[in-house]
């Protein structure tokens, strides 16, 4: 179960909570769910303080959270980019949402695949 506190994360155009199932024992990122805040209440249980989703982690499951399911982080990145593109004024979107700033960052140890904690 993933909870979103309504006071902390109010509905904001272009915001997307990301729920990720981590398999710490296996060192894996399992499924993730990227849900637009504007659709979260319809896909979740809502009470006065929080919104909760209980998606199935079983591959091939078909529940009300399936449309938001991402098989891996590459799919999360692609869906995020698609939403950003759709929101751009050039695509007829409002340009709303959080500001995005592009930056060129040098590759650090984590981005290059080097793990200083492992030989």
pTM for this prediction = 0.66
Tell me: the pLDDT tens digits for 8-36? Answer: 776 666 788 889 988 888 888 889 999 88
Q: What range defines the domain where residue 12 resides?
A: 2-91
Q: What is the pLDDT of residue 60?
A: 85
DSSP 44-75: SEE-SSEEEE----STT--STTGGGEESSHHH
pLDDT category of residue 61 using cuts at 50, 70 and 90: confident
Residue 102 maps to a domain: no
Q: Is the pLDDT of residue 71 over 60?
A: yes
Residue 47 maps to a domain: yes
Residue 32 maps to a domain: yes
Residue 87 maps to a domain: yes
Q: What is the pLDDT of residue 28?
A: 81
Quick check: 11 and 97 in contact, CB under 8 A?
A: no
Say how many domains are in the chain.
Answer: 1
């Amino acid at each position: 179960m993933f909870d979103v506190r309504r006071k902390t994360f109010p509905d904001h155009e272009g915001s997307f909570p990301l729920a990720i199932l981590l398999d710490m024992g296996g060192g894996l990122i399992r499924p993730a769910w990227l849900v637009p805040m504007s659709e979260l209440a319809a896909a979740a249980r809502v009470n006065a303080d929080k919104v909760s989703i209980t998606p199935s982690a079983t591959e091939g499951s078909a529940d009300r959270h399936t449309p938001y399911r991402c098989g891996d982080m590459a799919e999360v990145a692609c869906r995020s980019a698609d939403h950003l593109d759709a929101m751009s004024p050039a695509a007829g979107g409002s340009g709303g949402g959080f500001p995005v700033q592009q930056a060129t960052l040098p590759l650090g140890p984590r981005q290059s695949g080097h793990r200083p904690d492992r030989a």
